[in-house]
Amino acid sequence: MGDPTATGSANVVAVHSSGLHSFSKYTEPAIRLVAGWGVKGDAHAGTTVKHRSRVARNPAAPNLRQVHLIHAELFDELIELGFAVWPGDLGENITVRGLDLLGLVRGTRLRVGAESVIEVTGLRNPCSQIDRFQSGLLAATLGRDDAGRLVRKAGVMGIVLAGGEVRAGDAIGVELPEGPRRALEPV
């Protein structure tokens, strides 16, 4: 996928939302990001955690998972492996192409469309719900790097710094944080 800071080649493929705590999200013509909140009308939006497993641990914890982004190249890979999986099926809000999401660092800012800014907080940690969606899919969203370390391929999570409308075709700009760079970890 190349340099994660490359401009002009990264764009939004599709946007998704669901007011239900369902695994998959519905493809929409546009979604509205709200600063400090997430995707308007989405079940996972809010200032505190909304994912059920995290609410059970600490309902007052800050929501570092307001927006979920997945690279379309993952869907290409999964389809090649024989899975019937399409944008929105894995619960992401924004499907992107041409951006190495997994190569970003914590604190990277993504400028999406004309107004929106998302700060990347970490990796999505794929869970057993993926296998309930399609058997074997969890293993396909995990891998190992050359050193044998686990690679989580199910996208990244972020918080909304600046709101606005996001739709398919919007360009994505990448702004890496100043100072020491911290690799993404599951959030």
pLDDT of 77 > 90? The answer is yes
In the prediction, which pLDDT does 1 show?
44
Domains and CATH numbers, the chain: 11-175 (2.40.33.20)
CA distance 119 to 187: 13
Q: For 38-91, give the secondary structure using H, E and C.
A: EECCCCCCCCECCCHHHHHHCCCCECCCCEEEEEHHHHHHHHHCCCCCCCCCCC
In the prediction, which pLDDT does 80 show?
98
Q: Which is it for strands 172-175 and 109-112: parallel, antiparallel or unpaired?
A: antiparallel
143 within 8 A of 151, measured Cβ to Cβ: yes
**CA distances in angstroms from 114 to 85, 149, 162, 163, 165, listed in the order given:** 29, 37, 10, 10, 8
In the prediction, which pLDDT does 63 show?
97
Written as six digits, the tokens of 97 are 């192409």
CA distance 172 to 23: 25
Q: Encode pLDDT of 110-138 as tens digits.
A: 999 999 999 999 999 988 889 999 999 99
- Of all residues in the chain, the percent with pLDDT exceeding 90 is 89
Q: Encode pLDDT of 16-56 as tens digits.
A: 999 999 999 999 999 999 999 999 999 999 999 998 888 88
In the prediction, which pLDDT does 7 show?
47
Least confident residue range of 7-11, 41-45, 91-95, 106-110: 7-11
In the prediction, which pLDDT does 3 show?
52
Phi, psi for residue 75 in degrees, rounded to 5: -65, -40
pTM for this entry: 0.94
